[in-house]
Structure 1
Amino acid sequence: MSQLSPNLTIAALSIFVLLLIGMVLKSRTSSDNLRSYAVGSVRFSPITVALALASSLTSAATFIINPGFISLYGLGAYLAFGVVMPLAIFIALVFLMKKFRKYGVHVGSLSIADWLGKRFSSPFLQKMFGALSVLLITFIVLICVGITKVISKAIDANELYVLIGLVIVVFTYIMLGGANSLVYTNSIQAVVMVIVAGVMLYSGAGDVFASGEANLFHQLSAVDPKLVMPFNDTSPLFRDFFEVVVCNALIGIAIVCQPHILTKSLMLKEDHEVNRFLVYSILLLVLFFSVVFVGFYARAYFPDLMFEGEPLQMDGIIPAFVVSKFSAYVSLLLIIGLIAAGLSTLEGLIQSLPTSITNDLLLPLMGRDTDHSSAMKINRIIGVLIAIVVVYLSWQQLTSPNLSVAIFAQNGVYAFFSAAFVPVFYGIFTKVQNKLIPVVGTLTALGVYYSVYYLELTPYMEGATTKNPAIASALALIISFLVSGVIYISLRVAEKKDSIPEVVEDLGKSAS
């Protein structure tokens, strides 16, 4: 067990934060308006943006929270979060990024809501998604809880004080910097994450390839045979093929439809850089998503899920594993890496969420545009209000989570990208201009999602203590896609019928 000094940890974390703040201050002068704040004004290389994207997509959820699911529920959780969802994300990145960028660069979009509003010439759609972006606060809460767990465990401090300090520091330096500083800080964090991912995966590799009773999966089978089965019927989230494969495949595709993900492509100034950016991004993401496998190591290390005589909550398994398994200096490196994993996505959300609320909801309601002199002031006020809400909700999740903060976060994030998928899909892959399709698709997805979840529709939800948001999201995606498809086909058929008389008339004129 490591004897990690709290003072040494505080000193190392202070140096790390000062480094990030220094980079923010260096790039601050470039973010003097909402447009440069949102998408940047500096020319970034493909590898730099790839580092930013990979670190944004793999947050505290991937490095801290999701490995806890694997520790509790085994192979089914790993297949969901370590295999199916990443593969779906890679496919979605390749197919969605280029198309989104092509139109986003042309019209100068700052956010998903802005992009949708301009693509369908619909101020209503822009305002609706500006309002819906509030759901992403739940993901900010997840990351704050994960980082707070790591820091408080490492320095033996009160979680509330750590949480408040974390929110004040990170919200402040991101609101000062914007997209330019975000890419720089994400790049540093991604490099640290690469090192940490390698160390954590290597730490238990010997047990994976060992023979006999020393083999990792033999150890896990002795703890609970269900840990090595592809489906775990005693879990609330990984009970069968539909939950593990179908739900997570659909979510992996739709998850790319988040503002801090797709808008990364707008930071590239040249189209020919996009392919290299995607290759670098996917290679990094393969490594980062592999970190969830560490959940198996942690369960073998804590077979009874006890730490220092206390039962481990799911969100605390990986922090406890890091501070107890490794030597002091390695633990310190891993702690910084876990924090970097959380900060990378947290920064992106802090930058994109107030921007979307300001640019897509408040400014249009006030009759002002992006370049108005008050835009940045409003943006920062919104950032402060979000910070206050985040502290309140995060403290609730630290003190009384429903299994994990991940369930709370998924209930907001999954609802958002379920609602966004149909509009983004039709905006990218069709030339349709009819506003009915994206609006009905969005409203259908929201209606299905919250009906399934809160009215406990389907056998998966009935009487469940912990309900699976992935079920609600998958059904919302399927039904909204089918409904929008029917409308799309109906409109195409109607257009063809209307065009028949014109064709006959033209043929008549030609014949005469």
Structure 2
Amino acid sequence: MTPEIFKYTVTFAYAILVLWLSWVGMRRTQDIKGFAIGNKDMSPYVIGFTLAASIASTATFVINPGFVYVDGLSAFLHYGISASFGILAAFIVLTRGFLKLGEQHQALTIPEWIYHRYQSRELSLFFAFINLLSITFVVLILVGCSLLMTGLFPLDQKQSLLVILVFVFSYVLMGGTYAHAYTNTLQGVMMLFISVFLFVQGFKYVDGGFLQALSSVGENYAAMVNPDSRLYYNFFAVFISGFVITFALMLQPHILTKVLYLRGEHDIKKFIATTVVVGFCFSLMLAIGFYARFAGLEIESQDVVVREYLLFEFGSSAVGQYVLTFIFLTLLAAGMSTLDGILVSLSAMVINDIVTPIVGKLPSALMWSRVLLVAVGLVALALAWNPPALIGLFAQKGVYGLAAASAAPILFGVLYQGAIPKGLVFLAAFLGLTVHLILNLVGGVANPAVSATIAVFVSMTLIGVYLMSVRVRR
């Protein structure tokens, strides 16, 4: 079998398998609850794999290695080490309380969780609207996947965008959460294998020692804090912001709502352990940024570092082309594994938390949820058609803003059992979003993680000072 025939055969087989898993999911999806969070009959290991794949996505597998290529060790520590600790801390702190309240009120989405916790429909609507910022991450995934597809098939980027969108929608529209979970488990296994394989395969570039290889690029490239970088220039930017913003990112609807898939508290430890171990293995993909630099590749756009490195490593030999097909297909799967989760959560949220409270219960919420999936996809396609430079930073502006707004209301909502004034919660969320956007867009803070972390501290300080004053008065 020639490499070309192999490429199309494997791709067709993967597509058929994903669609079959989606059909299985469709048979188990009877209503909007099943579409949004399933029927609480999935293994915690499946849910953990699903979550790890959702967290990793195109950012970890395609876009973020470009930051490592440009800025070196500081970027790796930011996205790899600090972020991993942020993920672990978030789920240790939040999982039990969020699941308990979610089960008590049968919440399907984060805005609905906010409604039940704070008893405010206005606050719930506010969170539903700001959660639409997740669409910036949809754009990142679409662009990242389209860049990969141009390296695999004779398509331009716009044609690739259309193919990816149609394929993902074809299986998510059928099965919702079950399609998302089943396909993510398949895609997650592929991602796990490839991330470890590529990490080990690149060892040939560090024969003289990893630190020596880093130093050969430049002194600051090998430094834990890179003063030459406009993004990772001090301890706060590398470590504090990496930890805080990743902790806050776990509050995104397509991530934290995975907790609601669990059958009960007895599944929490298995769920967290699976998520953290698999997620750490995925983060090994960041090393491709180092390997591309060590190999001497001169790449103008950091968004295409992974694609160019893979073509350089595997594109020149017949055997390498077989390997390249499987790798590219896996990286595409990494993007789709997050894209489908965001689409499911966004469509369920719009119906459940925006449309229903405003116009009343719809006669067929499941059907309308699927209709809205298409609408979200079309908006994302329009934004991705002519993408901005450095798509990673574009996505971070929106998604980190959502994280900054959500952090204090959800964290205090889980950890503090007493009443918190609704107006204070709204003000904290509003400050989290606006402080981040002001600092990042006009305040000269280039790294969205830094501006969002400052915004999180401002937001949390507001509620924290209030609760301390209440305690003192008592």
Give TM-score scaled by structure 2 length: 0.95
The match for 2:317 is none
Within a 5 Å distance, the mapping from 1:43-442 to structure 2 comes to 43-208=41-206, 210-211=207-208, 215-305=209-299, 312-326=300-314, 327-368=320-361, 372-397=362-387, 400-401=388-389, 404-433=390-419, 434-442=421-429
The match for 2:467 is 488
Matched length: 467
When the two chains are superposed, the root-mean-square deviation of aligned CA atoms in Å is 1.7
Following superposition, the deviation at residue 268 of structure 1 comes to: 1.6
Task: Give the Cα separation in 1 of the matches to 2:214 and 2:297.
Answer: 8
Unaligned runs of 5+ in 2: 315-319
Over 6 Å off, 4+ runs: none
Task: Give the Cα separation in 2 of the matches to 1:468 and 1:91.
Answer: 22
Following superposition, the deviation at residue 455 of structure 1 comes to: 2.7
Task: Give the Cα separation in 2 of the matches to 1:362 and 1:5.
Answer: 49
Task: Give the Cα separation in 1 of the matches to 2:217 and 2:5.
Answer: 37
Following superposition, the deviation at residue 217 of structure 1 comes to: 4.2
Unaligned runs of 5+ in 1: 306-311, 462-466, 497-512
Larger CA deviation: 197-206 vs 420-429: 197-206
Q: Deviations over 1:24-70 (max 9, x none)?
A: 01220222211110000261111111110111111110111111110
SS at match of 2:39: coil
1:21 pairs with one of 16, 19, 22: 19
Following superposition, the deviation at residue 436 of structure 1 comes to: 2.9
Following superposition, the deviation at residue 7 of structure 1 comes to: 5.1
Following superposition, the deviation at residue 11 of structure 1 comes to: 3.2
Say whether the 8 Å CA contact 1:64–1:315 is kept in structure 2.
yes
Q: Deviations over 1:306-348 (max 9, x none)?
A: xxxxxx4111110111122021122112112211211111110
> Is 1:472 the counterpart of 2:451 in the alignment?
yes
Say whether the 8 Å CA contact 2:6–2:322 is kept in structure 1.
no
Task: Give the Cα separation in 2 of the matches to 1:58 and 1:285.
Answer: 7
Say whether the 8 Å CA contact 2:138–2:380 is kept in structure 1.
yes
Following superposition, the deviation at residue 366 of structure 1 comes to: 0.7
Larger CA deviation: 129-138 vs 23-32: 23-32
Larger CA deviation: 268-277 vs 58-67: 268-277
Task: Give the Cα separation in 2 of the matches to 1:347 and 1:82.
Answer: 24
Following superposition, the deviation at residue 407 of structure 1 comes to: 0.5
Task: Give the Cα separation in 2 of the matches to 1:173 and 1:242.
Answer: 42
SS at match of 1:239: coil
The match for 2:439 is 452
Task: Give the Cα separation in 2 of the matches to 1:268 and 1:88.
Answer: 21
Following superposition, the deviation at residue 143 of structure 1 comes to: 0.9
Following superposition, the deviation at residue 262 of structure 1 comes to: 1.2
Distance change >3 Å, CA 455–CA 207, structure 1 → 2? closer
The match for 1:507 is none
Task: Give the Cα separation in 2 of the matches to 1:275 and 1:39.
Answer: 19
Say whether the 8 Å CA contact 1:426–1:432 is kept in structure 2.
no
Q: Deviations over 1:116-151 (max 9, x none)?
A: 111111111111111111100000111111111111
Amino acid at match of 2:467: Y
Whose Rg is larger? 1
Following superposition, the deviation at residue 486 of structure 1 comes to: 1.8
Distance change >3 Å, CA 437–CA 491, structure 1 → 2? farther
Task: Give the Cα separation in 2 of the matches to 1:287 and 1:238.
Answer: 23
Task: Give the Cα separation in 2 of the matches to 1:6 and 1:80.
Answer: 39
Amino acid at match of 1:449: H
Following superposition, the deviation at residue 244 of structure 1 comes to: 0.7
Following superposition, the deviation at residue 493 of structure 1 comes to: 4.3
Task: Give the Cα separation in 2 of the matches to 1:450 and 1:316.
Answer: 27
Distance change >3 Å, CA 115–CA 162, structure 1 → 2? same
Amino acid at match of 1:334: I
Distance change >3 Å, CA 313–CA 5, structure 1 → 2? farther
Task: Give the Cα separation in 1 of the matches to 2:418 and 2:72.
Answer: 44
SS at match of 2:221: helix
Task: Give the Cα separation in 2 of the matches to 1:227 and 1:156.
Answer: 36
Task: Give the Cα separation in 2 of the matches to 1:230 and 1:70.
Answer: 12
SS at match of 1:260: helix
Task: Give the Cα separation in 2 of the matches to 1:56 and 1:296.
Answer: 24
Give TM-score scaled by structure 1 length: 0.88
Distance change >3 Å, CA 294–CA 13, structure 1 → 2? same
Larger CA deviation: 17-26 vs 218-227: 218-227
Say whether the 8 Å CA contact 2:187–2:333 is kept in structure 1.
yes
Amino acid at match of 1:350: L
Task: Give the Cα separation in 2 of the matches to 1:167 and 1:358.
Answer: 21
Task: Give the Cα separation in 2 of the matches to 1:12 and 1:323.
Answer: 18
SS at match of 2:220: helix
Task: Give the Cα separation in 2 of the matches to 1:257 and 1:302.
Answer: 39
Say whether the 8 Å CA contact 2:220–2:226 is kept in structure 1.
yes
SS at match of 1:442: helix
Task: Give the Cα separation in 2 of the matches to 1:85 and 1:362.
Answer: 35
